Amino acid sequence: MSGENKKNIKNTNAKAKMKKSSSKPTTKKNNAQFKSKNTKSAENSKSKKQYRRKQEPKVNKPPIKIAFLGGLNEIGKNLTVFECNDDIVILDCGMAFPDGDMLGVDLVIPDFTYLEQNKDRVKGIVITHGHEDHIGGLPYLLSKVNVPIYGTRLTVGLIENKLKEHSLDKVSLHAVDAGGRVKLGCFDIELIHVNHSIPDAVGVAIHSPAGTVVHTGDFKIDCTPMSGGMIDLSRFARLGDEGVLALMADSTNASRPGFTATEQTVADSFDTLFRRAIHSRIIIATFASNISRVQQIINCAVKFDRKVAFSGRSMVNYMNVAKELGYLEVPDSLIIDIDQLKDYPMEKVVLVTTGSQGEPMSALSRMAYSDHRKVSVGAGDFIIISANPIPGNERTVGNVVDELLKRGCEVVHESMYEVHVSGHACQEELKLLHSLVKPKYFIPVHGEQKHLRKHMDLSLSLGMKRENIFIGDIGKVLELSENGMKEGAPVQAGKVFVDGLGVGDVGSIVLRDRKHLGQDGLIIIVASLDVYDGHVISGPDIVSRGFVYVRESEGLLDEVKERALEILEDCARRNIHEWGVIKNKIKDDVAKLILQRTRRSPMILPILMEV
């Protein structure tokens, strides 16, 4: 090969190497430019999506409103209203027993005015269990707002029996098992099994567009209940994992430390007491609705070969319903009529009765005061009061116990032996449920102010923020959403008194008059006046009731008569014929006279007639 050709090959190879080496950085540069271009494109696309997302309106969940018509700052009368998307669902509808100042009142129910005004929006009533403080107001509400009722089988059976007494036979009742769900408008109500002092009790999970609200109802945690199995804690835990907007929990025992004792404790105590009363007639007073307690009594009666009788209308009604529905296991021929007690030796019978709260008209109270038509008590009777006094009833229960002791009875009550355990959760049980449910907001319910406040303290100790806790009151409305909690405009609420067949016709003024009459009595002043000139034709006659004994106070009543006559004649001379003016003058002057003489203020009632 010539030198020139070798030189050309070298030049060609050099040029190729230069071309090859120069092509590598060019490729890297192009890749970098391509990547940069794609990155910018992705960033632009992402920013466009973010911009579009900002431009799209955010869909807020609707709020849920909770109106409290009963069950707060009081014991009993439980009624809560839930509203969302123009739909209303009612949870429970109870009653309360009158206190000592409600003279003549039979029972107290919530004010239903708000529900009457919105009855077209009410989709249904859900009942947690069959106690009177949760179902006792239903007949009075259903007579005004007729909507379907949902509850477990025993609860519905007890409601049906109650409605028959009030001749309400056109109400739609639906039995739902624990674990079941009910669709009411935009609400999806889930029933959750809990333990309480009556079978078939449930809490509820209220699923709504606003979120889930869990209401425990009355509950406790009992690992060995008499019936129905343990509370469904696993479901509460799953709800907590899914997310709970608010928890509403029973506060009755929030001030009691520890755990509530199991019902099995009472069974052991009954066994001991039955052995102790081997030669006595046993009389046991308990709540008519405490079917599990009655089952324990029946089991002991079978064991010790005794017959069982029931006393008290509510007791008989509850036991009949429980037996028909299979919640009470009673051997054949064990139950006898109360009239058959005299046909058996005292040591062979057990009488189960109402009156554990010392109610004046209850069976046990009538026995204590020798007013029972079929049962007389005395030496040889062993009486067990298997219930805690409801706050405010301690004195009446104590009076009944004293009367029974005076008659020679042996009396055992809750403070002496474990013959009663509560159906409500104590502090450690409440803490456990809070920890499982993990709510965003918390509303303590069912209790007086001291119970609600103590329950709030428990939730604070578990890390709940104070601003996420609401202490409610009757008539208040709470509005909840994922964005916050606020108080809404209050609704009409309060107490309505039932007196005989009258509902709401007894108010604060009537009660004030009854109290006045009960404390100081009544004086009636009757006179006949001339229709033309207003002078007295006959009278005035003085009638005293509950003020003084007439025969021993004739001088005082003569003074009253003279003073009333002076006033009437003075009005006639001054040509005063307006009866309102005349009556007020008599009331004022006679009241001053009696106050000076006796330091008492009876009610003065002038009755004037024209002749």
* Catalytic residue list: 250, 424
Distance CA 162, CA 160 (A): 5
Q: Where are the beta strands (DSSP E) in 217-348?
A: 244-250, 281-285, 307-311
* 93 contacts 81 by C-beta, under 8 angstroms: no
Q: Cα-Cα-Cα-Cα dihedral of 19, 20, 22, 23, to 10°?
A: 110
Distance CA 19, CA 521 (A): 126
Helix 291-303 vs helix 313-324: angle between axes, to the nearest 10 degrees? 80
Distance CA 221, CA 212 (A): 22
- Bridge-partner residues for 453, per DSSP? none
Q: Cα-Cα-Cα-Cα dihedral of 318, 322, 327, 331, to 10°?
A: 100
Distance CA 74, CA 412 (A): 28
Identify the CA nearest to 173 among candidates 164, 563, 140.
Answer: 164
Cis peptide bond upstream of 225, omega within 30:
no
3-state SS of the chain: helix, strand, coil percent to 5? 40, 25, 35
* DSSP tag of 229: -
What DSSP element (H or E) covers 190?
strand 187-193
Q: CB atoms < 10 A from the CB of 123, how many?
A: 19
Tokens of 264: 């099995």
- Bridge-partner residues for 214, per DSSP? 205, 247
Distance CA 320, CA 208 (A): 38
* DSSP tag of 570: H
Distance CA 389, CA 414 (A): 9
Distance CA 582, CA 30 (A): 114
